[in-house]
Structures are given as C-alpha cells and as structure tokens.
Amino acid sequence: MSGAHVDRFAEEHLPAPALMPDLRFDLAGLHYPARMNAVTYLVDRQLEKRRGSRRAIVAPGGSDWTYDDLHRAINRIAHVLVADLGVVPGTRVLLRAPNTPLLAACWLAVLKTGGVAVATMPLYRAGELRHIIEKARVSVALCDARLREELDAACAGNPSIRVVNFASEAPDALEAMMDRAADHFDVVETGAEEVACIAFTSGTTGLPKAAMHFHRDLIATCDTYGKHVLQARPDDLFTGSPPLAFTYGLGATLLFPLYAGAATLLLEKAGPEELLRAIDEFGVTTMFTAPIAYRAMCGLLDRYDVSTLQTCVSAGWTLAKPVFDEWLARTKLRILDGIGSTEMLHIFIGSPREETRAGSTGRVVPGYLAEIHDDAGVALPAGEAGRLAVKGPTGCKYLDDDERQQAYVQHGWNYPGDAYRVDAEGYYYYVARIDDLIVSAGYNISGPEVEQALLAHQEVREAAVVAKPDPAHGTHIVKAYVVMAAAELRNDAKADELREHCKTLIAPFKAPREIEFVDELPRTQTGKVQRFKLRQRAAAE
C-alpha cells in the first residue's frame, strides 16, 4: 500500500502474504483510515478536546508534564530527529532508557516523524543490543547517558550509527538540541499498515525475536483491551513495573493512559515496595505488574495506603489462585489476569473487574476470537485442553523470519504456544506452555498446576516445575525448583513436607518427584521465568 515511509526496510521484510495472520475488524470502533499516525490519537486529540492543561506524565522527584508539555517535547525531539539526525519516514531509531518522561516523549516523537521505534530493555548488555541493532538495521539511537557504556560497546566497529545522549547537561545532548528546536512539527501521515515499532521478545526461549506492529495496531489495542476491559477514565493515574520496551509496559504506561486522556506515573525502579510507595504517595488508580510482585506486595500492604487503587492487572505469567485470593482478601480488589504476547502486542484474553474468576485468565477480549485446537488445527470442545489459537485486529509479524512465522501463524491463526482449556461460559484456563507440559509415566502433567500447589504452601516464595529426563524408564519425572521464605527451611524434611502438601491439592502422580531448593529462579528482564534454562539444568544432572 502507499504510505509515507521513504525507508521501506520494515515493510520489505514483513512476512510473505501467505504467512500473514488473518485480521478481524468486525468490532464497532475498529475501522481506521488508510493513512493514520498513532501519535495523533494518543496526544494531539487530547489537545483537540481542550485537555492540554491536564497532567499526562508524572515522575517522582520532578514536575508533572501536561499534555501541552508532552506535545511540545515531542515536537522538539521530532525536529532534532529530522533536522539534526537525518531521520526519514521508516528510519529505525533505537531507544535506551528506564521508564522516564523523556523516554516516552522520544518514543512518541519517533512515530510522529514516521520513524520506527525500537525500544530496548535498560539492562540489556552489549551482545543483546548488537543483535537488535543488526536485526533492525538501526542507524540512530537516543540513549540515557547513564546507560551509554553497553551501547557504545554494541556499536563498536559500526560508524554508521549516530548516538545522542539524553538525561544530560552536555552541550551535545538531546536536551540542548531540543532547546534550539521549534515547538511546532507537522505529523507525518503514515499509512495505517506502515510499521510504527519493532518490539523484541523477552527471550524466555532463547534469542529474542523481532515483532513488528503497525500504527493501526497500537490504536486497535486501545480500542479493544483498553476500552472494553480497563475502561479507563481521564482522571485515572496509571503505573506499572514493566519497562516501556516490553509491549506489556508500552500499553500499561503509555498507550492506554494517553488514549484515555489519563495520566501515567513512570517509575525508573518499580519493585513491589516502590509500587506500593507510589500508590500511597501519588494516588495511583491503575497498576500493571507481574504475579510475583502481587505475591510480594501482599506481605507489605500494612505499611502503605492503597485505598485509591481500583484496577490491578497481572500478566507475563499465569496468576496463581492463592495469590488472587490473598490479594482479594487484603485489598478487596480482584486482579485482572490476562494473556498477551509481544507478537500480538498486548492482552487478548482477560476480563473486566466484575467478570474475573479466580484461577481463570478470563474471557476473550472484545474484538478477538480464540479457540482451543488440536495438533491438526481442529477446534476442540469445551473442557478439553489443547493449543490456544487467536485472531483479532493485531497479529504476529516477525521481521525477516519466515521459519518462526510459520510456527506462530498457521492457517491465519496465531498460536502463542500455550495450552489452554475453555469452559462452557467462555472462561479460559491456563494449562501450561506447550513446552512445559510434562509427560511422566503416561500422564500429561501441567507444570504450572504443580507450581500453584507448591505456592499454596505458606513457606514457599517461588516455584518453577519442569520435566527432567528419566533415561532408565524412557520418560520424564516432575522436578521442582523452589525458593523458600527462609534459608533454614531448605532441607530434606521440608522437601518431603512440600511433596505431601502437593498430594493434598493435586493427584499424587503430579507431585514433584524431585525438589531442589535454589536462591532464585532465572528470569528475563521482564520477570518471566526462563524455564528453558531449568530444563537444560535438569537434563544435565
């Protein structure tokens, strides 16, 4: 299709048409013009609604940014990108920073110029950054000065990349360049199906994959999950732990609040205690984080006032029922569990507060369609476990990776790699990642089900369950890696106690044959447990 992109690299490396997912736009409100720039919907329209003086971005230790302030910063950065750094529509611009107002403005400015935003995790090292730079063919980077060292190492030997610092008082920093730029910038009217961002997966199964999303995709997730599940209002204040470079964090801390005309509190550090402190201090109404954080926060709630909190969202891994129940008992708030993926952009199964059920991920988000399929792609009846298949207004579009695209998209359906079952009322229940199903002595065992049983023990802080090869019998056994609340609890007697505890909650054959106590579980920077590393460890024993 025609569009504004001059540099067509992203569009030229989309999957072949036969490998593209089927897209659905049958929900009211999902019809978009052929030419659209997502920034118009996220910022400019708030000014058109005379909301320019309302706060848009809040940061600890600094003054609030209004929508007028954000609009002005975006325009000035856009001028710098075009006039000083040579960005043209379609240029890939790498962004590297913790969650800060200036990072948010940079991300939006890249889109406003018609560029393609490539946000990166703050903790990525040189090797990971080099992979991203090479895969996305990045030519410009905007980097928080505190994080420059690893980026410089990643760019070594690549003189074609122009790197500019921000969060710096240096005369050649972005802030100084912005001071010389004009306040006005005409938005580049990109095509609805031109790439707006390239998001790299969090690496739970190895090397991160590059997922591309159109300008239309960004707004479609606001018109589905944002509108029908979050039901955000302009007086809401959002915050969360996921980084903006993670699409869960992109929606949580930027897309959803701005689209609703609300405000977002950006936290550079957002551990459980920092989140509770932020809710208490700033009056947060809407919070996004991971299941492990909710579990940790339950033990800290007595120290903070969280009475302003209204909406609590969990994703990144399945929410254990004991955590849901404890949070509800302590706060009177029901956690909105959800499943999404970097490939799909955001959450596609998840229910609003009044429809949540403990232990269930929820119902399909309006605008999406989900089914449970067998290995041949045939839909299974309610109650049977199988592969989760999804269609909607967003879908997987890997950058130049037809092999992985063929694995993720089949016959127009997106297969995120999860085993689920659905009941007669349309509630979806997580079984396991396809890779985490354990076949032991002829039984199919869900690792997460065993984990939930372990987590129901008050002395267990974290648990991950994987299959360990059992060469003597040509099968696998269930092995658990467990983090206890205290080091003195790590002994054989406690392992036996945990095993018997599991047998009171799940069938005895599902209980872990082996339990190994560990200091911590391997995780990605977004908090997901890297079970593939545990499987490798178990196989090597």
**Pick from 370, 25, 467, 72: nearest CA to 216:** 25
* 338/368 Cα distance (integer angstroms): 13
Band of pLDDT at residue 9, cut at 50, 70 and 90? very high
Same-domain pairing of 342 and 403: yes
Same-domain pairing of 282 and 415: yes
SS3 74: helix
In a domain, residue 453? The reply is yes
Write the pLDDT tens digit of every residue in 407-447. Answer: 999 999 999 999 999 999 999 999 877 877 787 766 678 88
Write the pLDDT tens digit of every residue in 210-243. Answer: 999 999 999 999 999 999 999 999 999 999 999 9
CATH number, domain containing residue 387: 3.40.50.12780
Alpha carbon 217 to chain centroid, angstroms: 15
CATH number, domain containing residue 534: 3.30.300.30
- 403: Cα within 13 Å, side-chain hemisphere: 1
Q: At which of 434, 460, 491 does a domain end?
A: 434
Band of pLDDT at residue 159, cut at 50, 70 and 90? confident
Same-domain pairing of 321 and 258: yes
* 456/504 Cα distance (integer angstroms): 11
Beta strands in 63-186 (DSSP E): 65-66, 92-96, 116-120, 140-144, 162-166
pLDDT of residue 163 exceeding 50: yes
In a domain, residue 140? The reply is no
Band of pLDDT at residue 1, cut at 50, 70 and 90? very low
* 521/530 Cα distance (integer angstroms): 8
pLDDT at 207: 67
Q: Are 208 and 247 in contact (CB under 8 A)?
A: no
Write the pLDDT tens digit of every residue in 343-370. Answer: 999 999 999 999 999 999 999 999 999 9
Backbone angles phi, psi at 517, to 5 degrees: -85, 135
* 259/29 Cα distance (integer angstroms): 14
Q: At which of 415, 434, 453 does a domain end?
A: 434
**Pick from 454, 481, 484, 457: nearest CA to 467:** 481
Degrees to nearest 5, angle at CA 477 with 474 and 481: 145
Same-domain pairing of 462 and 356: no
Amino acid identity of 352? P
Q: At which of 410, 434, 458 does a domain end?
A: 434
Q: For residue 448, what are the CA distances in angstroms to 165, 206, 241, 478?
A: 43, 20, 23, 11
In a domain, residue 50? The reply is no
In a domain, residue 489? The reply is yes
In a domain, residue 2? The reply is no
Write the pLDDT tens digit of every residue in 337-348. Answer: 999 999 999 999
pLDDT of residue 251 exceeding 50: yes
What is the number of structural domains in the chain? 2
Same-domain pairing of 249 and 316: yes
In a domain, residue 84? The reply is no
Amino acid identity of 170? A
Write the pLDDT tens digit of every residue in 169-188. Answer: 999 999 999 999 999 999 99
Q: Give strand pairing partners of 141.
A: 94, 163
Same-domain pairing of 458 and 399: no
Same-domain pairing of 348 and 474: no
Band of pLDDT at residue 305, cut at 50, 70 and 90? very high
Same-domain pairing of 350 and 407: yes
pLDDT of residue 11 exceeding 70: yes
Degrees to nearest 5, angle at CA 417 with 416 and 418: 100
Q: Which residue has the higher pLDDT, 4 or 441?
A: 4
Q: What is the mean pLDDT of the chain?
A: 93
To the question of pTM greater than 0.75 for the whole model, the response is: yes
Q: Which two tokens stand for residue 322?
A: 């004991």
Same-domain pairing of 360 and 418: yes
Q: Are 131 and 208 in contact (CB under 8 A)?
A: yes
Q: Give the H/E segment covering residue 286.
A: strand 286-289
Which domain range does residue 480 map to?
441-540
pLDDT of residue 125 exceeding 90: no
Same-domain pairing of 388 and 507: no
Same-domain pairing of 404 and 445: no
Same-domain pairing of 278 and 408: yes
Band of pLDDT at residue 117, cut at 50, 70 and 90? very high
Amino acid identity of 34? A
Average pLDDT value for residue range 487-510: 92
pLDDT at 36: 97
Task: Give 3-state DSSP helix, strand, coil % of the chain, rounded to 5.
Answer: 35, 25, 40
In a domain, residue 214? The reply is no
In a domain, residue 460? The reply is yes
pLDDT at 426: 97
